[in-house]
Amino acid sequence: MDLESLYGAAEWLFPCSLRCEGLLSLDFYANIILSILQVIGHFLPLGSNGPSYNKLLHKLTITHCFGLVLYSRRSWLIKMTTILRTLLLHAVILCVMQTSGVRIEAVPGSVEQMIEMKLNGTVSLICRHKTAAGTDMELVWLRNNALVKLENNNRGDNSSICVTPLTHEDNGAIFTCQRKNDTTLNDSVTLNVTYASETNGSEEFDMEEQETLVLLCDMYANPAVIVSWEFNGTQLEHTTGKVIVTNDGFTSKLTVDKLDMDLHRGTYICETNSPKHGKQRRTFSVRVKERTTRFPVMPIVAGVVVVFLTVLLAIFSRRKKIAKCFK
């Protein structure tokens, strides 16, 4: 409904007899129509992408405030007739606007713009498009602005897609349904895939002094988790002496350089705390022993091989002299 149509409606609903003495302009009556449409529109929403009353309202201003006072003095019959005609006009406009809306519904889920689902779950998105009788409109689906391939029989007024199983990559994905020939009629939803970190469990480590200890703790989750580390019941800071704790958003890593048997053996605990999935703990039992002097096997083997080859070569070079000795 453009500005010209709105003025035309105002002239039809409010004839010249009401705009007596030229004190009430078309702006005033057009604003009356828009005000009624706006109020009723709050109780009868047309969808997130339908024509907006506010856009029309911004194009007009009430420039004759005193006109409302004159209008209120008119007879009760004229007032009621005008109101009924205005409501009738609204009903016609509402019907037209409703028939051109595009709306996405989720099963299971809701019609909210953000759909929360669990990892490995299934969600079906249904795009409902209301058109006038006999009108054939084709719908298309987009995933993060990339076209989704649909069967020919799945492009009509009730087009649907199924996402299963939901993966980490589906978190934050935006699905949009729109008319092929009119992209202004569309609706979008965003998937919020929730999942917990895989923290629970235990590991054992046998280490020697002067070695480097590296412990890994999974923290990949949605919503994000808070990670904390303990050593023998004492909370560890991110950097404490030779102990360094870092994370990349996926894994929390604790590193201890040059292990000391008296200082670093014991139980390390990684704890993740999620507002949705609660607490999880992973236990690392670290045993540290004195560094042992290992027998240098490889150097000795290498020396023996060299000596053997040298002797063999010497024998081969003197084979004739050695042969004469046995004659």
Q: Which residues lie closer than 8 Å to 11 by C-beta, 6 or more apart?
A: 26
Report pLDDT digits (tens) over 2-51: 445 544 555 555 554 444 444 445 555 556 655 555 544 444 444 444 44
Average pLDDT over residues 53-70: 38
What superfamily would CATH give domain 102-194?
Immunoglobulins (2.60.40.10)
Residue recorded with tokens 């689906």:
141
Q: Do domains 102-194 and 201-289 have the same CATH topology?
A: yes
Residue 3, pLDDT score:
47
Contact criterion met (CB below 8 Å) for 159 and 150: yes
More confident residue, 143 or 38: 143
Does 61 have pLDDT greater than 50?
no
Q: How confident is the model at residue 299, as a pLDDT?
A: 78
Among residues 101, 98, 183, the alpha carbon closest in space to that of 145 is found at 183
Strands 174-179, 186-194: pairing is antiparallel
CB distance 282 to 203 below 8 Å: yes
pTM summary value:
0.60
> pLDDT tens-digit profile of 202-221?
999 999 999 999 999 999 99
Q: pLDDT, tens digit, for every residue of 228-284?
A: 999 999 999 777 778 999 999 999 999 999 999 999 999 999 999 999 999 999 999
Give 134's pLDDT tier (boundaries 50, 70, 90): low
Fold observed for domain 201-289: Immunoglobulin-like (2.60.40)
Identify the residue with better confidence: 320 or 107: 107
Beta bridge partners of 15: none
Instruction: Enumerate the domain spans of the chain.
Output: 3-98, 102-194, 201-289
